A and B are shown apart, each in its own frame.
Chain A
Amino acid sequence: MKHVFVFDQDKCSACSACMMGCLDQNDTDLAAGDKCFRQTFDNEIPLADGGTYFAYISAACMHCVDAPCIPACPVGCLYKDPETGFTVYDNTNCIGCKSCAMACPFGAPRYRASDGKMVKCDGCNERVKNGLDPACVRACSFGALTCVTEEEYKASGSTKACNALIDQLGLRKK
C-alpha cells in the first residue's frame, strides 16, 4: 500500500518532537557530526505591512512521486519501494559522489563523513511495512505531521501531501 506524508503547517509549532523521534529511531550520531534526517524551521518572515509571519515547518525527504535523486545516482543506490512508494536506498555501492544531494531540491540526502556514504530519510520504510507509523509522525502530538495511505489521502481532500511539493513549487526541470 502506497503511503503519503502529509504536513499541515497550521498545526505545527516547530517543537521538534519529530526530530527527537527521528534521532531515536535512527541512532543518529550527533557527536560524530551526523545530522537528523528531519529538520524543523522556526522562521520569521517580515511582511510588507511591517508585521511578521511566523513560519513553523517540519521537513525531511518529501518522497517525491518522481524523485530526481533516483536517476541522479550513478551506481543505482536509490529506488522506490514498490510497496510503500517511499524513496529508499541501499548504500552498499555508494561512492560518496553526492550527485543525489545535488539533484534534490530539498537537500534531503546527506553525505555521512564517518563512512563516506550517503544516507537519507527512508520514511521509516520497515516500520510502515510492519504497520507502524514513521518515527517522526509517531512523535507529533499536534497532528501536523501524518502519514496515510494513498487511498486515505485522496478521500481526505487534503492538498498537503509532501510528495507533491516538488510539483507545487514548480521545481521540476522540464
Chain B
Amino acid sequence: MTELEKKIKAKIPGEDTGIEVKHSLCAICSPGIHCGVDCYVKDGKIIRVEGTMEHPYNHGHLCTKGSSLRNYVYREDRIKTPLKRGGERGEGKFEPISWDEAYQIIAENLNKVKEAYSANSVAFFSGYCKWYRPIFHRFAHVFGSVNFGTDDSTCSASMVIGYKVTSGAVGATDLIHANTFLGWNFDGYYSNHLNVAGVQKLKERGGKVIIIDIRDTPASKNLADIFLKIRPGTDGALALGMAKLIIDNGWADMDYVEKYTFGFDKYKELVDQYPLDKVCEITGLDGGKILEATKLFATNGPACINFSASALVHHINGFNTHRATVCLSALTGNFDRAGGNVPGVMTYLHKPAGFVTREHEFRSNRYPGGAKRIGAERFPLWDAQFDEFQSMDLLRQVETADPYPIKAIFGLGMNAKMFPQTNQLLKAMKNNLDFFVNTDLFMTMTCKYADIVLPACTSVERGELKAYQGGYLTFTQPVITPLYESKSDTDILCELARVMDLDDDLLKAGYEACMDWIIDGCGLTVADLKKSDLPVKVPIAQWPPRPGKCLEDGFKTPSGKFEFYSNAIAAIDPKYGLDPLPSYRDPLEDQNDPETKAAYPFYLCTGARLPHAIHSRTHETPWLRSLRPDPTIEVYTTDAERLGLQNGEPVELYSPYGKIRMKVKVTARSQPGVLMTLHGYTEANVNELIGRNHLDPYSGYPGFKGMRCNIRKVQEA
C-alpha cells in the first residue's frame, strides 16, 4: 500500500485524499441538544462523522447515537420517493409517484375534508424531529385548523407547564455557582452527555452531589455523594417530606418565602401531612439518608435541582411531583438566585440563547380560533397553558367524532407507537379517516397506514436555523445532497403552501424568508449566518442569563410571585378536581383494586434511557442495535430467581390492555417488583400495555413510567 492509499484508508482529510470536512448538526435526539458534527465527505458521500471541536456548544463531543450518525443517515429503510398507497391501509403496499402528483393528491384531499366538515377536522401532527415545527404550526393555522399537535403531548411540556403555573418560567441549573447539585433523575451519561462535565467540575471544586433515581446508573456511581434509590413514582411524596424537614429544622429561607412567594401557609399545611416515617414507608427510603440529603441540599447552598423532561412527568401523578420538586428551590431561596435555578428566555426551538425571536408570534399570529382544540374539554389546564392540542385525546375524538369529527391527519414524523394502546389508534385511523399523509425518513409502521407517504431528508442533507446556548445562531448548509428524492420537511411544507395557494405570503416565500422574519431584529440575517459554517455570536444576545430578574420585576404568574399555591390551577373549573397545591397521590391510583393488584403485581417502568436508544428512532440503526439486539425486559435479581428466569430467556409481558414478547435481562440495577424496558420496538411495542386512559389529569401525560403488569415464561416462537 502506498502512503496515499494508507491515508485514504484511514480517512485522513486533505487535498491529497480528496476527503473534505464539512460542518452540520446531528438531529437524532431532542432539539434542546443537537450537537455540531464534522462530516468527512468523499465523492459526495459521508465516510465518517465526529463532533466539531470548534463548536461553541458541544466542543467536539458526541454521544453514542450521534457517533452513529453515518449509519443512521444511510439506513436501508430510508423512504426513497413519494408513495401512494396500493393495498389496504396497514398492508404496506405502495407505488412511487412524483412530488407534483403527491402535492396534488394532498391538496385535493385536505380541501375535501375542509369543505365537507371543517378545517378543524384536519389534525396536523408532528412527531420527532422538532426542527420544522414553527413552519408546520403556522401551516396548520393558515389552512384554518386549530388542531396542531406534537409529541409535546407526552414529552417535556408537562414539566414546562408545571414551571409556568408555579414560577412563570423554566429555571435552568446554574452549576457553575452551585455548591450542591440535586440530580433528581439525573443521568447525563445516558441522555445528555454534555451535562456530565459541569457536575464533574462541581465535584472537583468540592461541591456535593445528590442523585435520586429508581435505578443504579453511571451517575449514581461516578458522581453521587448521596444516592437515594427511590421507589418509582413516589418522588412527589419525597419532595413534600423534604419540605417538611426543611421547614421543621429551620433550614427554609423565610425571608425569600415572605418576600417572593404565594400560598406558603397552605403549602405548609400540605407538607405537614408528610412526616419522615410516612415518607419512608411510601418511598422505600431510609429516613437517615433522606435527612442527610435534605440537610445537604438545604444548608450547603447555593443548590440547584435537575429537572427531567420525562422521568417524573411520565407518571399519572407526575405534574404535581414536578411542582413539588420546584417548590423546594423556592423554599430554600435558590430559585432565580446564582447557583440555584435561573429562569432564562427560550430563543428558538427549546434553546435559550440570550435573546428573543418572533418564534411564538410566527406560530400563533394566524391562529384561527372558533373551535375547541382536541383534548380541550378533557385537559383544561393543558389547553389553557399550551398552544397545541393534547394528542392523548386524539384517539377518542377520531372514534367518537365528539365534539366534531377528525377526518384527516397530516403527519410529519407521526409515530403511533408514541400513543398508549397504539393498535387502537391505528385501527381508528384506518377505519375513520378519509385521508392520512405522513412524512418520514424511514418506512415506519405508522407510514404503512398512510395514503400518501413523503420522504424527508436528515439534518446533514438540509440547511436549518439553530440557536445555541452562549448567544449563538447558525444556519447550517447541507453536507451532501438529499438522498434519493427526499426533501427537507420545511421545503415540503412551503412548496405545498404554494400548490394549495394558502393565504400566507410568508410560507409561500419559503423557509429562509420565514426564518428571516423570525430572527428579525437580532442584528443578523440568514444571509449573514450562511457566511459562516459555524455558529456565530448574536450581537444583541445577553449571556449568561442574569439571576434575580423575577425577584426584581416579579414572577410571570397571576400573583407575580412564586406560587406554592397555583392561581392558574385554582382558576380551572373545580369539577376537574385539580389541586392548586402540589399534592401527592399514588402513581397506580387507578389500578389499585385488589383484583388488578393480584393479577398484575409488577410495576412497569418504560423508557428510562439507555445510551444507544431514543424512542424508536435508533432501534433499526444497525450499529446501535448491535449493542442490544433483542427487545429486553430488565428483571431484578431476586424476582428473576423467584420466577426462575434466566438471562436471554423469552417471556411475555402483559397488562389488562395487551401483551408483548421480550427477552430477560437479569439485573441488580433496578429494584424488587419493578420491570424496566425501552419503548418504541415495532415487534415489541410496550405502549400496547399502557392503558389509553392511564393519564395525568393535569397534563394529559400517560403513565409511561408507572403501570401495572405481569410477566410469564413462554416457549420460543
Q: Which residues 60-110 of B have a CB within 8 angstroms of A? A: 60-64, 66-68, 70-71
Determine if B222 and A13 form an interchain contact, defined as CB atoms under 8 angstroms apart: yes
Q: Mark A112-155, 1 if CB is under 8 A from B, else 0.
A: 00000000000011110010100100110110000000000000
Nearest residue (CB) in B for A12 is B218
A16 within 8 A of B: yes
Determine if B7 and A141 form an interchain contact, defined as CB atoms under 8 angstroms apart: no
CB distance from B620 to the nearest CB of A (A): 13
Determine if A139 and B62 form an interchain contact, defined as CB atoms under 8 angstroms apart: yes
User: Which A residues are CB-close (under 8 A) to B63?
Assistant: 15, 17, 141
User: Which A residues are CB-close (under 8 A) to B216?
Assistant: 52, 54
From B12, B68, B196, give the contact of A142 (CB < 8 A): B196
Determine if B221 and A21 form an interchain contact, defined as CB atoms under 8 angstroms apart: no
B285 within 8 A of A: no
A41-B372 Cα distance, complex, nearest whole Å: 52
Q: Which residues 37-67 of B have a CB within 8 angstroms of A? A: 48-51, 60-64, 66-67
User: Which B residues are CB-close (under 8 A) to A25?
Assistant: 10-11, 48
From B197, B218, B622, B623, give the contact of A13 (CB < 8 A): B218
A111 within 8 A of B: no
A10-B624 Cα distance, complex, nearest whole Å: 24
B667 within 8 A of A: yes
Q: Which residues 1-21 of A have a CB within 8 angstroms of B? A: 10-17, 19-21
A54-B221 Cα distance, complex, nearest whole Å: 8
User: Which A residues are CB-close (under 8 A) to B7?
Assistant: 126, 130
CB distance from A66 to the nearest CB of B (A): 26
B9 within 8 A of A: yes
A30 within 8 A of B: yes
A23 within 8 A of B: yes
CB within 8 Å for A141 and B194 given contacts A20-B68, A31-B622? yes
User: Which B residues are CB-close (under 8 A) to A20?
Assistant: 64, 67-68, 71, 623-624
B612 within 8 A of A: yes
A76-B313 Cα distance, complex, nearest whole Å: 61
CB within 8 Å for A15 and B10 given contacts A23-B68, A30-B623, A54-B669? no
CB distance from A98 to the nearest CB of B (A): 23
User: Which B residues are CB-close (under 8 A) to A139?
Assistant: 50, 62, 67
Determine if A15 and B611 form an interchain contact, defined as CB atoms under 8 angstroms apart: yes
B6 within 8 A of A: yes
A167 within 8 A of B: no
A19-B624 Cα distance, complex, nearest whole Å: 9
Determine if A130 and B50 form an interchain contact, defined as CB atoms under 8 angstroms apart: no
A11-B6 Cα distance, complex, nearest whole Å: 33
B668 within 8 A of A: yes
A124-B218 Cα distance, complex, nearest whole Å: 28
CB distance from A2 to the nearest CB of B (A): 19
A10-B189 Cα distance, complex, nearest whole Å: 12
Nearest residue (CB) in B for A44 is B668
A24 within 8 A of B: yes
What range describes how many residues of A lie at the interface?
20 to 34
Nearest residue (CB) in A for B221 is A54
A154-B222 Cα distance, complex, nearest whole Å: 25
Determine if A13 and B190 form an interchain contact, defined as CB atoms under 8 angstroms apart: yes
User: Which B residues are CB-close (under 8 A) to A36?
Assistant: 626
User: Which B residues are CB-close (under 8 A) to A130?
Assistant: 7, 10, 12
User: Which A residues are CB-close (under 8 A) to B11?
Assistant: 25, 127
Determine if B10 and A127 form an interchain contact, defined as CB atoms under 8 angstroms apart: yes
Nearest residue (CB) in B for A28 is B623
From B49, B197, B217, B668, give the contact of A24 (CB < 8 A): B49
Determine if A56 and B218 form an interchain contact, defined as CB atoms under 8 angstroms apart: yes
A157 within 8 A of B: no
CB within 8 Å for A15 and B190 given contacts A24-B48, A31-B622? yes
CB distance from B304 to the nearest CB of A (A): 21
CB within 8 Å for A24 and B622 given contacts A54-B221, A126-B6? no
Determine if A30 and B622 form an interchain contact, defined as CB atoms under 8 angstroms apart: yes
Determine if A24 and B70 form an interchain contact, defined as CB atoms under 8 angstroms apart: yes
A82 within 8 A of B: no
User: Which B residues are CB-close (under 8 A) to A31?
Assistant: 622
CB distance from A84 to the nearest CB of B (A): 12
A170 within 8 A of B: no
Q: Mark A25-63, 1 if CB is under 8 A from B, else 0.
A: 100001100001000000010100000101010000000
CB distance from B485 to the nearest CB of A (A): 26
B114 within 8 A of A: no
A93-B68 Cα distance, complex, nearest whole Å: 33
Q: Which residues 194-211 of B have a CB within 8 angstroms of A? A: 194, 196-197, 200
A44-B668 Cα distance, complex, nearest whole Å: 7
User: Which B residues are CB-close (under 8 A) to A24?
Assistant: 48-49, 67-68, 70-71, 623
Determine if B48 and A13 form an interchain contact, defined as CB atoms under 8 angstroms apart: no
User: Which B residues are CB-close (under 8 A) to A10?
Assistant: 222
CB distance from B200 to the nearest CB of A (A): 8
CB within 8 Å for A127 and B611 given contacts A10-B222, A30-B626, A142-B189? no
User: Which B residues are CB-close (under 8 A) to A14?
Assistant: 218, 611
Determine if B218 and A52 form an interchain contact, defined as CB atoms under 8 angstroms apart: no
B556 within 8 A of A: no
Residues of B within 8 A of A (CB): 6-7, 9-12, 48-51, 60-64, 66-68, 70-71, 189-190, 193-194, 196-197, 200, 216-218, 221-222, 611-612, 622-624, 626-627, 667-669
List 22 interface pairs A-B (beta carbons < 8 Å), by A numbering.
Answer: A11-B200, A13-B218, A15-B189, A17-B64, A20-B71, A24-B623, A44-B667, A44-B669, A52-B216, A52-B669, A54-B669, A125-B10, A126-B9, A127-B11, A130-B10, A138-B60, A139-B50, A139-B62, A139-B67, A141-B62, A141-B194, A142-B197
Residues of A within 8 A of B (CB): 10-17, 19-21, 23-25, 30-31, 36, 44, 46, 52, 54, 56, 124-127, 130, 132, 135, 138-139, 141-142
Given contacts A24-B67, A138-B60, 20 further A-B contacts (CB under 8 A): A13-B217, A13-B611, A15-B189, A16-B627, A17-B62, A20-B67, A20-B68, A21-B50, A23-B71, A24-B48, A24-B623, A30-B626, A36-B626, A126-B6, A126-B7, A127-B12, A130-B10, A138-B50, A141-B193, A142-B189
Q: Which 9 A-B pairs have the closest CB atoms?
A: A126-B10, A13-B218, A20-B67, A13-B189, A15-B611, A52-B668, A141-B61, A141-B193, A17-B64
